[in-house]
């Protein structure tokens, strides 16, 4: 694994453009070292990851294959540092590590680490880097994963950081699993191109929407429709990004009219944990932004319903049994794509490709 070293101080690093930062985030072969932002992944890289995830998924079907996978990264250890609540992201990363044979350690509550004694985040992360070979981190702080990646790239023991959700800002691995789900779902309907993806809910504060929206611009003729109450409509940063990339997008608050045109409906919950003064979100009428039986009847037969989960009342449980409800499979896809990302981070793609090829079976 080629480690990008960054000798710039933090102030100088922050002035770099995204393209200039890429030198410090990617390995020389074009695969990720640190995974911090969705924009690090282009269509080619997303395709490579999806292929690798498919192979891992296939190999894991047999006991022999599972045993092989457990040897792929068994020489490495990963630290799961989750200082913000998480079920799926935590468990799917943990499972991904287990699939590949990585040993893991975890801190899920900073009250149980020396941060409670006043240790800085920087010192905590440097401590983890002394014992582990990868840090997977989720924090409520915007930009913290990037700062920690810079810190480690400057240290005598640089190790990769994977951002498992940073504040309201980015959730790159959720976007990877969302893309993988879209690629799999559209395999028989022309692939991920010329499709309409409809986002609905709290688009202002949801980090998954920002990351996925940025990745969708890699695919041809994708139309993105953002459906939300005006107070929760997608932020200007996302709109500016899409405008710069000449993406086809529109904003509306008319959910029912938008549904029949959608190939994927991506529902999100109200993110009221970010309320400045508690209860602000509760005053917003979100009743028109829910997906139930009526909305299902408006949806194309080939379309899918997605959700990063957890859900509240924005998708009714009546929808769960419909073949177009993709959120459970989407969740499991997270485990495969995260395993693929970890294998790629450690440069183990070829080992997996070779085993898959030798097994000589088609992916089903």
Q: Give the residue numbers annotated as catalytic, written as ranges.
A: 88-89, 117, 138, 171
CB of 253 to ligand NCD, least distance (A): 20
Smaller CB separation from ligand NCD, 53 or 348:
53
CB of residue 194 to ligand NCD, shortest distance in Å: 28
* Complex with ligand NCD: residue 32 or 165, whichever CB lies closer: 165
Q: In terms of CB distance, is 196 or 211 closer to ligand NCD?
A: 211
Name the minimum Å distance from CB 171 to ligand NCD: 5
Q: Nearer Cβ to ligand NCD, position 76 or 207?
A: 207
Q: Answer whether 30's CB lies under 8 Å from 344's CB.
A: no
For residue 212, is it left (φ>0), alpha (ψ between -120 and 50) or beta? alpha
CB-based contact 193:199 (threshold 8 Å): no
Q: Which residues pair with 135 in a beta bridge?
A: 79, 161
Q: Which residue's Cβ has the minimum distance to ligand NCD?
A: 308
Q: Who's near 7: CB < 8 A, 6+ residues apart?
A: 154
d(C-alpha 225, C-alpha 198), whole Å: 5
Which of 196/271 has CB closer to ligand NCD? 271
Shortest distance in whole angstroms from residue 281 CB to ligand NCD = 13
What minimum distance in Å lies between the beta carbon of 174 and ligand NCD? 5
Q: Which is nearer to ligand NCD, 51 or 86 (CB)?
A: 86
Nearest approach, Cβ of residue 179 and ligand NCD (Å): 14
Interacting residue ranges for ligand NCD, rule: CB under 6 A: 88-89, 165, 171, 174, 207-208, 269, 308-309
Q: How far is the CB of 81 from ligand NCD (least distance, A)?
A: 15
- Which CB, 88 or 108, lies closer to ligand NCD? 88
**Least separation in angstroms between CB 149 and ligand NCD:** 19
CA 143 to CA 152: how far, in whole Å? 15
Q: Token pair 């419909």 is at which residue?
A: 322
Closer by beta carbon to ligand NCD, 21 or else 138: 138
Q: Are 262 and 227 in contact (CB under 8 A)?
A: no
């Amino acid at each position: 694994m080629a480690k990008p070293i960054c000798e710039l101080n933090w102030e100088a690093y922050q002035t770099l453009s995204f393209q200039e930062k890429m030198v410090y985030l990617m390995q020389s072969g074009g695969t990720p070292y640190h995974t911090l932002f969705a924009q690090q992944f282009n269509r080619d890289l997303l395709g490579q990851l999806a292929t690798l995830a498919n192979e891992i998924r296939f190999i894991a079907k047999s006991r022999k294959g599972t045993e092989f996978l457990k040897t792929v990264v068994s020489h490495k250890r990963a630290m799961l540092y989750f200082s913000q609540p998480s079920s799926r992201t935590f468990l799917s990363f943990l499972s991904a590590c287990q699939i590949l044979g990585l040993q893991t350690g975890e801190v899920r509550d900073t009250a149980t680490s020396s941060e409670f004694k006043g240790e800085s985040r920087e010192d905590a992360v440097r401590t983890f880097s002394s014992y582990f070979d990868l840090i997977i981190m989720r924090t409520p702080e915007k930009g913290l994963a990037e700062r920690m990646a810079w810190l480690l790239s400057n240290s005598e023991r640089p190790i990769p950081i994977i951002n498992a959700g940073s504040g309201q800002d980015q959730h790159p691995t959720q976007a990877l699993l969302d893309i993988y789900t879209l690629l799999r779902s559209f395999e028989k309907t022309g692939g991920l191109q010329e499709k309409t993806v409809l986002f609905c809910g709290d688009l202002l504060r949801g980090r998954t929407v920002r990351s996925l929206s940025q990745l969708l611009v890699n695919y041809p003729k994708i139309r993105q429709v953002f459906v939300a109450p005006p107070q929760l409509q997608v932020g200007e940063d996302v709109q500016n990004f899409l405008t710069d990339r000449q993406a086809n997008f529109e904003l509306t608050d008319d959910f029912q009219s938008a549904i029949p045109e959608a190939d994927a409906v991506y529902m999100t919950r109200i993110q009221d944990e970010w309320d400045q003064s508690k209860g602000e979100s509760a005053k917003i009428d979100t009743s028109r932004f829910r997906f139930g039986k009526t909305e299902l009847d408006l949806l194309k037969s080939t379309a899918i319903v997605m959700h990063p989960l957890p859900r509240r009342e924005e998708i009714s449980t009546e929808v769960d049994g419909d073949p177009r409800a993709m959120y459970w499979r989407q969740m499991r896809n997270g485990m495969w794509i995260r395993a693929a990302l970890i294998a790629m981070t450690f440069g183990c793609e070829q080992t997996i490709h070779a085993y898959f090829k030798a097994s000589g079976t088609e992916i089903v």
